[in-house]
Chain A
Amino acid sequence: MTEKNIKIVSFLCNWCSYGAADLAGVSRMEYPADIRVIRIPCSGRMSPKFILSAFREGADAVWVSG
């Protein structure tokens, strides 16, 4: 199965996208299970180092969302 092999490291802002993800759950919307969420206090917390490191650790993609 190809699905298993994809991992998207997702850095989500606690106040915005993380909340949207919660709401998507409450609304029982379905979406691909490829994302792995890392909660950050604000998208300002992001640093290029995290993105590079995610790729280095085998991420297939990185998603940063404020």
Chain B
Amino acid sequence: MGNLLEHMGVDRDRIHFSWISSAEATKFVDVVKEISEKVRALGPNKKFVKDYSK
């Protein structure tokens, strides 16, 4: 999946897969923070977005 997106020009850091058990609230928060940081660093995604104005 990651490779496909990369092929299409979407950054690998924009797709995340994880496994968290229902008791792992701390891990959940850590993962959200991590993804959020990475994505913010990349800025908004512009590739592949449907343009409603067209």
Contacts and interface: CB of A to CB of B under 8 A. Distances in A.
A–B direct touch, CB within 8 Å, in complex? yes
Interface of A: 2-3, 5-6, 8, 15-24, 26-27, 29-32, 34-35, 43, 48, 51-52, 55-66
A42 B39 CA distance: 25
B1 A48 contact: yes
Interface of B: 1, 4-5, 10, 13-29, 31-33, 35-36, 38-40, 42-45, 47-50
A56 B20 contact: no
Contacts, number: 122
Contact of B19 (A16, A57, A62): A16
Contact of B36 (A6, A48, A59, A66): A6
A17 B44 contact: no
Nearest to B42: A60
A6 B39 contact: yes
B36 A58 contact: no
Nearest to B11: A61
A66 B44 contact: no
Contacts of B27: 20
